[in-house]
């Protein structure tokens, strides 16, 4: 059966919702008045376990899919798995530079430059705020290009062997 990364992601979301719903119903199913019609606790647990097993199978399929689909980023060919793992690091590095470009000012602490005593040693910035902003911007664009490549790769349909009932 042909499947895309988006199809798998949506199926995982659906099964996760079923699992979360069953989990949230469990405590309430433990007690009932004689006139109430409720699911039995074992039925709720069975529904929960069925959804959890489906999530596990779908995530395994997603891992296989991500290893079979390739994309090109900055002249290199990557598996979708590698690209997904890389984008987080790029985003974190961009955030580092962004915070260096716009440091938070704590109103209770003193600035490094508040001291006038010439005999005291002070640290000096190694990167200007302008350079940090430029580096942050470059990494943001790079991460954006990688996210776009990931989105394009997730739209690729490939043939995979699995029980199609997992998608319904």
Q: Do 153 and 76 share a structural domain?
A: yes
Domain containing residue 15: 1-31+38-68
Residue 165 lies in a domain: no
Q: Do 25 and 11 share a structural domain?
A: yes
Spatial contact of 99 and 50, defined as CB atoms under 8 Å apart: no
| Element housing 3 (H / E) | strand 2-3
Residue 45 lies in a domain: yes
Q: Do 93 and 42 share a structural domain?
A: no
Q: Do 89 and 61 share a structural domain?
A: no
Spatial contact of 79 and 69, defined as CB atoms under 8 Å apart: yes
Task: Give the pLDDT score at 111.
Answer: 58
Q: Do 151 and 88 share a structural domain?
A: yes
Model pTM?
0.83
Q: Do 42 and 14 share a structural domain?
A: yes
Q: Do 134 and 80 share a structural domain?
A: yes
Q: Do 45 and 20 share a structural domain?
A: yes
**Chunked in runs of 10, what are the mean pLDDT values of the chain (168 residues)?**
98 98 98 96 98 98 98 98 98 97 75 70 90 98 98 98 93
* Cα(31)–Cα(23) distance, integer angstroms: 15
């Amino acid at each position: 059966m042909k499947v895309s990364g988006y199809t798998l992601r949506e199926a995982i979301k659906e099964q996760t919702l079923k699992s979360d719903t069953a989990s949230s119903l469990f405590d309430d199913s433990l007690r009932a008045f004689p006139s109430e019609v409720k699911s039995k606790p074992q039925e709720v647990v069975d529904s929960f376990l069925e959804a959890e097993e489906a999530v596990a199978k779908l995530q395994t399929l997603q891992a296989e899919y991500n290893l079979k689909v390739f994309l090109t980023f900055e002249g290199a060919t990557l598996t979708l798995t590698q690209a997904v793992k890389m984008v987080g690091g790029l985003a974190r590095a961009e955030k580092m530079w962004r915070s260096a470009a716009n440091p938070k000012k704590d109103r209770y602490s003193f600035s490094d430059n508040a001291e006038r005593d010439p005999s005291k040693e002070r640290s000096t910035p190694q990167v200007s705020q302008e350079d940090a902003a430029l580096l942050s911007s470059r990494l943001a664009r790079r991460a954006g290009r990688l996210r776009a490549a990931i989105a394009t790769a997730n739209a690729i349909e490939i043939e995979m062997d699995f029980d199609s009932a997992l998608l319904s």
